[in-house]
């Protein structure tokens, strides 16, 4: 059984994807924040949480076959101040330390596309100095059929030494073809109470710009004029088909007005109903966790493409 270790875990979206395409199980997670940790306790029962990434002694941690990390995007995001290595949330050096000690056979990383122009060279350089070959690419959530763009850079790395038991081709055979018809399927498993739903996936083009086939098709389709989604109706219906369930209402009453419904955001992120919203954490914490999370279907598509 392939073992998976997770850093900067959040609600576990990257790890759901890793479980899906490797057939493995998550052995441990590492999440410092209180509310995402509550989600992990309920959704990954019995899986240890190492908590503070900066304080872990990696020599005492169980080695794993696959290491995942959706490390904080704030140092690199165009939505922030882009302070890079000067940002106190810059955790990449600690992740590099974990890789150096644990020597996983496959490293899976994720961050915002803005990382490509700030700090990305440091990550590639560190991986090379640690003896890893690297592949990377930008994939959007819409490439996997989701009704939103959410472009992210995904990185895969394996040990570069000749004769290592798992090469790009062996990992690729393990994960299946990049255009497999179940790439958009929810990556949940029986252990997590997920469903296996199938649907068609997007076309990953060779640049960050342009449109996927679904977006072009959505523009060509006449939207339902009675729909609350207006011009986004076709995209919403496509994601409903892929997930196998209807979209929750986007807003809910809040006094005299309305506010954003976390269940709708959860649905937009491709998660099982209640994965975040039925864990008892406050509404604001739900939205924060969802906003920082990974669309599992997007990650499955990205890594199957990189490893194929």
- Name residue, tokens 């209180």: 34
- pLDDT at residue 45, rounded to an integer: 97
pLDDT at 218: 39
> Where residue 256 sits, what CATH number does that domain have?
3.40.50.150
**Closest by alpha carbon to 243, among 138, 147, 175?**
147
Note the Cα 180 to chain centre separation in Å: 18
Range of the domain at 96: 1-308
C-alpha count within 13 angstroms, C-beta hemisphere, residue 293: 30
Task: Find residue 49's DSSP bridge partners.
Answer: 29
pLDDT per residue as tens, the chain (308 positions): 899 999 999 999 999 999 998 999 999 999 999 999 999 999 999 999 999 999 999 999 999 999 999 987 565 554 555 555 655 557 899 999 999 999 999 999 999 888 888 888 889 999 999 999 999 999 999 999 999 999 999 999 999 975 556 788 788 776 655 543 344 444 444 455 443 333 333 333 333 333 444 444 434 433 444 577 888 999 999 999 999 999 999 999 988 889 999 999 999 999 999 999 999 999 999 999 999 999 999 999 999 999 98
What pLDDT sits at residue 175?
66
pLDDT number for residue 186:
43
Helix 92-102 and helix 120-129, axial crossing angle in degrees, nearest 10: 20
Are residues 74 and 80 in contact, defined by beta-carbon separation less than 8 angstroms?
yes
Strand partners, 111: 153
Task: Specify the 3-state DSSP secondary structure of 203.
Answer: coil
d(CA 273, CA 226): 25
What's the structural domain count of the chain? 1
> Which residues have C-beta within 8 Å of that of residue 141, sequence separation ≥ 6?
148, 149, 150, 152, 270, 295, 297, 298
Which residue in the block uniquely carries the two structure tokens 């020599």?
59
Q: What is the pLDDT of residue 163?
A: 58
**Alpha-carbon distance values, 139 to 146, 237, 301 (Å):** 12, 21, 8
DSSP 8-class letter at 63: P
pTM confidence score? 0.82
Closest residue by Cα to residue 108 from 196, 20, 200, 192? 20
Give the full edge-to-edge strand order of the sheet including 66-69: 25-28, 3-7, 66-69, 106-112, 152-159, 132-139
CA distance linking residue 200 with residue 180, whole number of Å: 9
What distance separates the 2 farthest-apart alpha carbons in the chain? 66
Contact between residue 273 and residue 279 where contact means Cβ atoms under 8 Å apart: no
pLDDT of residue 83: 56
């Amino acid at each position: 059984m392939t073992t998976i270790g997770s850093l900067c875990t959040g609600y576990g979206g990257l790890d759901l994807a890793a479980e899906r395409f490797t057939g493995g199980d998550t052995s441990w997670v590492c999440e410092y924040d209180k509310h995402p940790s509550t989600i992990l306790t309920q959704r990954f029962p019995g899986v240890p949480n190492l908590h503070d990434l900066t304080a872990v002694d990696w020599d005492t941690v169980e080695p794993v076959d696959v290491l995942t990390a959706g490390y904080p995007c704030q140092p690199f995001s165009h939505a922030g101040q882009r302070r890079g290595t000067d940002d106190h949330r810059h955790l990449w050096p600690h992740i590099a330390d974990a890789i150096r000690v644990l020597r996983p056979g496959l490293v899976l990383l994720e961050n915002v596309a803005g990382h490509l122009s700030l700090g990305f060279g440091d990550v590639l350089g560190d991986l090379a100095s640690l003896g890893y070959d690297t592949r990377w690419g930008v994939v959007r959530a819409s490439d996997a059929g989701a009704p939103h763009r959410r472009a992210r850079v995904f990185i895969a790395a394996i040990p570069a030494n000749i004769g290592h038991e798992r090469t790009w081709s062996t990992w690729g055979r393990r994960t299946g073809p990049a255009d497999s018809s179940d790439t958009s399927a929810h990556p949940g498993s029986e252990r997590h109470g997920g469903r296996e739903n199938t649907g068609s996936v997007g076309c990953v083009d060779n640049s960050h710009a342009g449109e996927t086939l679904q977006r072009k098709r959505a523009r060509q389709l006449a939207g339902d004029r009675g729909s609350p989604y207006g011009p986004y109706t076709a995209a919403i219906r496509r994601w409903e088909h892929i997930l196998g369930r209807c979209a929750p209402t986007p807003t809910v009453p809040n006094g005299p007005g309305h506010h954003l419904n976390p269940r709708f955001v959860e649905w937009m992120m491709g998660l099982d109903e209640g994965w975040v919203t039925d864990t008892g954490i406050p509404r604001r914490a739900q939205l924060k966790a969802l906003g920082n999370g990974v669309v599992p279907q997007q990650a499955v598509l990205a890594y199957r493409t990189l490893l194929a």
